[in-house]
């Protein structure tokens, strides 16, 4: 979008325009500075880029045609945040706002051109914006003043896109009041996660929120750096010492006043963006805490259920063990008497020996098993039993030494 005027800068202007277009369409490495300032003897170039992750059903690959067949095909991050039921899944895609200006700083009424590029559907910038556009008169820095006004008009749209995205995240992982108190709804689906689908969703959303926060903070750093680079370029070029009122180079008394107003405009832009960023970051942090509470509650409930299942499994194992112990004596005696060691000439005597051995071994096995089960069932009993065994062991192995020590002690006392 061209706000006013047209400038001819030849090769330099063409290179800067291509660089601006390339930054708008290409991938950004992490922590890469995308916004830049160039200052020549006659011209100022400023490029500023914002990005946002937009989410919603309209961004699903099945319903959204990202880019036309002809024209620019920018590189953008895109994907799908899948819901648990698959019905409420939302698409997510990166969108950018890019603003550039080319303005002269040597004329009293400087020509300037402002370019606005956006992936968003908010194309009619000033009709959608909350900031009305007026045309401030700042001498040779009038173009910069208008550029900052246009930048202020983009911030509400940028913030609105982030708010819409966070609203979609709320719908995806939020809990409504009717879900908590409706008896027809199954609360177990919120408490337990045997397939790890809910855990995967929470992890994905938490990582997405981290990226949201990083991108929002990135725009603030870019804006601060842009102002610092602008001030540094102006000071190093000697523009602050140049003329505003004439082309002869005589110093204008209004120059420092104009520069002060430009500085105030920069501070206003940074302040408004900072306030918008803070409100978004606060909301993201609250959402992160909410999802972490969901995740922790999910892990706790799932752990309790797994512990309950383990207890039930232990009971099944106990029943199996009892049945095994019941048949173990018969199996053992049968195996023992099937050997050639026990060969009886009298069949009746062999049968009697088999029956007696079976009964005795069975009673001994069942009695020992019952005692062990009784001890293991209660931790206090088991602890007392261990202490008793330790005491008996000490008395058994150390009693002769103790008696010898006592006898020696008594002999010493008697001799004294």
Per-residue pLDDT of the chain (416 residues; tens, 9 = 90+): 333 344 455 677 788 888 898 888 888 887 788 889 988 878 899 999 999 999 988 888 876 555 556 566 788 888 888 887 777 889 999 999 999 999 888 877 888 888 888 887 655 555 455 555 555 667 788 889 989 988 998 999 999 999 999 999 988 887 666 655 666 555 555 555 556 677 788 888 899 999 999 999 999 999 999 999 998 888 776 544 444 444 444 445 576 788 888 899 999 999 999 999 999 999 999 999 888 887 776 666 666 666 677 777 777 787 788 788 777 887 877 877 777 666 666 666 777 777 888 888 888 888 888 888 777 777 777 777 777 777 766 666 555 655 565 566 666 555 54
Q: Of 13, 34, 12, 11, whose CA–CA distance to 24 is shortest?
A: 34
Name, in order, each residue with C-beta under 8 angstroms of 60's C-beta and a sequence gap of 6 or more: 80, 89, 90, 91
| Count of Cβ atoms closer than 10 Å to residue 256 Cβ | 12
Q: Which residues of 66-97 are buried (b: 16+ CB within 10 A; e: fewer)?
A: eeeeeeeebebebbebeebeeeeebbbbbbbb
Q: Look up tokens 């994905």; give the residue.
A: 204
d(CA 325, CA 90): 59
């Amino acid at each position: 979008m061209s706000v006013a005027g047209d400038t001819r800068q030849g090769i330099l202007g063409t290179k800067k325009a291509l660089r601006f277009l390339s930054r708008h369409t290409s991938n950004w490495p992490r922590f890469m500075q995308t916004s830049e300032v160039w200052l020549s003897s006659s011209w100022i170039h400023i490029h500023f880029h914002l990005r946002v992750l937009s989410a919603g059903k309209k961004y699903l690959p099945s319903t959204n045609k990202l880019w036309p067949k002809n024209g620019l095909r920018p590189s953008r991050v895109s994907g799908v945040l899948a819901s648990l039921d698959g019905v409420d899944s939302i698409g997510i895609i990166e969108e950018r706002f890019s603003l550039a200006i080319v303005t002269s700083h040597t004329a009293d009424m400087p020509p300037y051109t402002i370019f606005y590029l956006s992936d968003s559907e908010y194309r009619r910038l000033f009709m959608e914006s909350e900031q009305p556009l007026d045309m401030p008169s700042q001498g040779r820095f009038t173009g910069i003043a208008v550029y900052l006004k246009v930048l202020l008009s983009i911030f509400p749209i940028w913030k609105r896109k982030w708010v819409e995205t966070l609203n979609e995240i709320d719908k995806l992982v939020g809990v409504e009041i009717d879900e908590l108190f409706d008896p027809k709804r199954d609360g177990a689906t919120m408490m337990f996660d045997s397939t790890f689908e809910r855990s995967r969703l929470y992890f994905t959303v938490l990582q997405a929120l981290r990226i949201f926060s990083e991108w929002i903070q990135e725009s603030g750093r870019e804006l601060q750096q842009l102002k610092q680079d602008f001030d540094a370029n102006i000071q190093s070029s000697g523009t602050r010492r140049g003329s505003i009122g004439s082309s002869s180079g005589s110093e204008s008394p209004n120059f420092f006043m104009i520069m002060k107003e430009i500085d105030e405009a920069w501070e206003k832009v940074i302040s408004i963006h900072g306030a918008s960023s803070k409100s978004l970051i606060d909301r993201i942090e609250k959402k992160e805490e909410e999802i972490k509470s969901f995740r922790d509650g999910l892990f706790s409930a799932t752990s309790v259920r797994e512990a309950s299942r383990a207890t039930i499994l232990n009971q099944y194992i106990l029943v199996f063990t009892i049945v095994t112990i019941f048949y173990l004596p018969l199996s053992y005696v049968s195996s023992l008497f099937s050997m050639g060691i026990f060969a009886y000439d009298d069949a009746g005597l062999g049968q009697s020996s088999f029956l007696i051995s079976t009964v005795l071994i069975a009673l001994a096995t069942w009695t020992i098993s019952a005692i062990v089960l009784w001890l293991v069932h209660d931790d206090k009993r088991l602890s007392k039993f261990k202490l008793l065994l330790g005491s008996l062991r000490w008395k058994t192995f150390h009693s002769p030494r103790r008696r010898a020590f006592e006898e020696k002690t008594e002999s010493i006392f008697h001799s004294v």
